[in-house]
Amino acid sequence: MKNMDRRGFIGGMLAAGVSRVFGDIGDAAPAVRFGFITDCHYAAHLAPSLMRFYADGPAKMDAFVETMNALGADFVVEGGDFKDLGRTPEESVAYLDEIERRFAAFRGPRYHVLGNHDHDNLSKEEFLSHVANEGQTAARAYYAFECKGVKFIVLDACYRPDGAPYCRGDFSWKDAYLPPEQIAFLESELASASGPCVPIVHQQLDAEDETCIKNAADVRAVLERSGKVKCVVQGHWHEGSFREVNGIGYFTSPASVLNAAPDNAFSLVEVYPSGGVKITGYRMARNFGTAWTPGAWEGRREWRSGHYQVHYIYTGRSECMFHVFPDGTSMLLDCGDSMRFFRTAAEVPLPCDPSVRAGEFAAKYILGVNPKGSRVDYLHLSHYHEDHGGGTRYHGGPLGRSSLGEFNRCGIADAARFLTFGRAVDRAWPGFDDPVDAFAAVRDGTPVQMRALYAHLSETQGTRIEKFELGSSAQLRQLGESPFPGFRVFNICANGRFVLPDGKVRDLYADRIKAGATSLNENGMSCGMVVEYGKFRYFTAGDFSDGWRHADGVRRQVEDALAEAVGAVHVAKLNHHGHHSMYPKLVKALRARVWTSCTLDAQHCTDDTMCRLADRSLYGGPRLMLPTYMPLNRPATASGRGYLPDVARCVVDQPCHVVLDVPPGGETYTLSCYSAVQSGNPLKAEFTFMA
């Protein structure tokens, strides 16, 4: 760190601490308070890359140590990857000695966890001979210690799957493994513990993806059987995350190395006699807490000024997303109803009693998170299908009549019993004839339902009805008096047309209409948009999907054409719920870090679609698949399910509401998963990414 006043830097870090409790920790005071920092990656000669600022390690460690001294922490732990690769082993040792010297300024016990980078050109023995763990004459790779009735168990997963220890770069960081002798050690330490236990490890234990320990499931089973573990503290995945698995929370701290100083990431972890845990994050580190009761994890999903949010509301019967713009302007994007109400073979779990329709359920969810209460600024229907808007086939009976006809109790009409809308944006208003007659082409009656409902909203709520303006970035905008800069919603596709980067409009169906087509696939008519907020980009386009065999005999997908327009994004909603959609050209163009979708059918997120999303030949690097539910009760396909390591474990187990939150500037974004079927909607997982 250059040209920076150290005292000012550390003072800023102290001011950045935020205390927040999740769950009922049930005690007046914590039993133990300790500091945790991980992934410092100190190496003075390395230039910044991948948002890693290697040379800032000593200054960041100073800030951590001085903060923990000021807070009176009982001890401190560094979670691995203490240093990075020196040009020689001697240089690596010099980096290790320097960062250890800074760490040793803590006035109390300190402990180390081994990470993969600690072995890049050193052996375990060489690394351990240059650090000290309290109470050990020579630092060990794995060990346990007690503090005020709480046992802490430090594990070392830096072993290859063949059992060989990491040594001088002879390993792959993707192949972490906990040897049998350590599993036996873990079982023994848990059995002998008289109180709660907190395991600490570098690599992750909460899933089976490339950042996790290969035999993580075996280790989790040991933890679960003990009944003494409510929280595991880990590092390695620099962006940080939280997952709840079978009543145990797995907190992955963000890496200290990310971003230039004064940015940093570390935490104060407080363990209560009940086993409950409170984690207070400083700067980039996020806060999580647990209660002793399994599943009682809670999180924060309310909108905050300056944040952009998308709530994927799981109804089990519809696609439904609620957007809140940075200034508090709100938009309900789709809210349908469908045959899942009738418990067919396509059923997925319902989040409420079947007598409560999807629209009512969604509206009551919105009332709990909308900064304007029942007032929603925009209603936007992506296309005319009942699972997006509600139709004439599956409903709760007639609901009302307007000047343009009757409408039924389902979908958006049902939600409108509880919500009022300022504007409604429709793909083909007012004629419902762009590019063909929707009344004749759409079989489920959604155009009939929506025409009558729009008239009702206009006549009773004063809602202004508008046609979706292709190519506009002014139609769906912040409506407040003080809009936040850098936020834009660009209308990229509608009615079979999309806007290319040069501003030209391409019409996918022009030739077919010219040839006399009177019926087209409604999915291909879907409205879509790209949302930008600072560095962050997001894509959503309803059910945009279709394909047909052209005159040259080749079958082409409309998504292939859209790929020419969209560009890379950070989060993308799957077209058509991931049902035989997302073809290679579009996946390659979007290159999303996170893929999301609304699930309402056991056939959604089909194996072929998910395999394309997981295909590293289309684009490299990690990705997270986060539908609101990942159904696996369907026939096996030839494509297999090799994509499962990329799927968030929590949504394989149960349906979730998923909330995307982007703070001002869009430099980070978080996706939080809340159980849609457990009472109180407890937090099941949370993932934070750097844009």
- Whether 15 shows a pLDDT value over 80: the answer reads no
Four-CA torsion 404, 409, 415, 417, nearest 10 degrees: 80
Task: Please check whether residue 564 lies inside any domain of the structure.
Answer: yes
- Whether 610 shows a pLDDT value over 90: the answer reads yes
CA distance 522 to 544: 9
Do 198 and 344 belong to one domain?
no
Q: Span 243-261, mean pLDDT?
A: 91
Cβ neighbours, 10 Å, residue 181: 10
Contacts of 260 (CB under 8 A, 6+ apart): 1, 48, 53, 56
* DSSP secondary structure of 19-67: ----S---SSS-SEEEEEE----B-TTPPPBTTB-GGGHHHHHHHHHHH
**How big is the CA angle at 507 (ends 501 and 510), to the nearest 5 degrees?**
165
Token digits of residue 46 = 């390395």
Task: Please check whether residue 644 lies inside any domain of the structure.
Answer: yes
CA distance 419 to 373: 8
pLDDT band at 292 (very low <50, low <70, confident <90, very high): very low
Task: Please check whether residue 301 lies inside any domain of the structure.
Answer: no
Cβ neighbours, 10 Å, residue 217: 13
Residue located via tokens 């140590």? 65
- Whether 294 shows a pLDDT value over 70: the answer reads no
Give percent above pLDDT 90 in the chain: 79
- Whether 26 shows a pLDDT value over 70: the answer reads no
Do 264 and 332 belong to one domain?
no
Task: Please check whether residue 390 lies inside any domain of the structure.
Answer: yes
Q: Span 14-21, mean pLDDT?
A: 36
Four-CA torsion 581, 585, 587, 590, nearest 10 degrees: -130
Q: Can you list the alpha helix ranges (DSSP code H) found in 104-179?
A: 124-128
Cβ neighbours, 10 Å, residue 449: 28
Residue located via tokens 């155009």? 447
Task: Please check whether residue 594 lies inside any domain of the structure.
Answer: yes
pLDDT band at 290 (very low <50, low <70, confident <90, very high): low
For 381-407, the pLDDT digits (tens) are: 999 999 999 999 989 999 999 999 999
pLDDT band at 274 (very low <50, low <70, confident <90, very high): confident
Contact 266, 313 (CB under 8 A): no
- Grouping H, G, I as helix, E, B as strand and the rest as coil, residue 99 is helix
Do 238 and 125 belong to one domain?
yes
Do 333 and 379 belong to one domain?
yes
Q: Span 421-448, mean pLDDT?
A: 97
CA distance 302 to 318: 23
What is the pLDDT at residue 25? 53
**238, 256, 290 — which closes off a domain?**
290
Do 264 and 327 belong to one domain?
no
Q: Give CB contacts under 8 A, 24+ apart, made by 611-615.
A: 611/639, 611/640, 611/642, 611/643, 612/582, 612/583, 612/584, 612/587, 613/574, 613/582, 613/587, 613/643, 613/646, 614/642, 614/643, 614/646, 615/584, 615/587
- Whether 9 shows a pLDDT value over 60: the answer reads no
Four-CA torsion 129, 134, 140, 142, nearest 10 degrees: -150
Q: Span 137-164, mean pLDDT?
A: 96
Domain count, the chain: 2
Do 468 and 535 belong to one domain?
yes
Token digits of residue 99 = 């960062």
Do 360 and 276 belong to one domain?
no
Upper half-sphere CA count for residue 187 (Cβ side, 13 Å): 12
Task: Please check whether residue 300 lies inside any domain of the structure.
Answer: no
- Whether 605 shows a pLDDT value over 60: the answer reads yes
Do 396 and 478 belong to one domain?
yes
**290, 321, 341 — which closes off a domain?**
290
CA distance 495 to 522: 9
For 195-247, the pLDDT digits (tens) are: 999 999 999 999 888 889 999 999 999 999 999 999 999 999 998 889 988 88
What single-letter DSSP state applies at residue 583? -
* Domain of residue 393, CATH code: 3.60.15.10
- Of 75-79, 361-365, 631-635, the range with the lowest mean pLDDT is 631-635
What single-letter DSSP state applies at residue 79? -
Q: Span 96-113, mean pLDDT?
A: 98
- Whether 19 shows a pLDDT value over 50: the answer reads no
Do 407 and 541 belong to one domain?
yes
What is the pLDDT at residue 275? 82
- Grouping H, G, I as helix, E, B as strand and the rest as coil, residue 91 is helix
For 465-486, the pLDDT digits (tens) are: 999 999 999 999 999 999 999 9
Do 210 and 343 belong to one domain?
no
Do 254 and 329 belong to one domain?
no
What is the pLDDT at residue 14? 33
Name which residue leads in pLDDT, 299 or 669.
669
What is the pLDDT at residue 342? 60
What is the pLDDT at residue 51? 84
Residue 497's domain spans which residues?
308-690
Q: Span 11-27, mean pLDDT?
A: 39
Q: Span 544-569, mean pLDDT?
A: 90
CA distance 121 to 119: 6
Residues in the chain: 691
Give percent above pLDDT 70 in the chain: 93
Do 375 and 348 belong to one domain?
yes
- Whether 23 shows a pLDDT value over 60: the answer reads no
Cβ neighbours, 10 Å, residue 401: 12
- Whether 440 shows a pLDDT value over 80: the answer reads yes
**260, 290, 320 — which closes off a domain?**
290
Largest CA distance in the chain: 86
For 50-68, the pLDDT digits (tens) are: 789 999 999 999 999 999 9
CA distance 513 to 530: 27
CA distance 405 to 453: 8
Task: Please check whether residue 685 lies inside any domain of the structure.
Answer: yes
Task: Please check whether residue 433 lies inside any domain of the structure.
Answer: yes
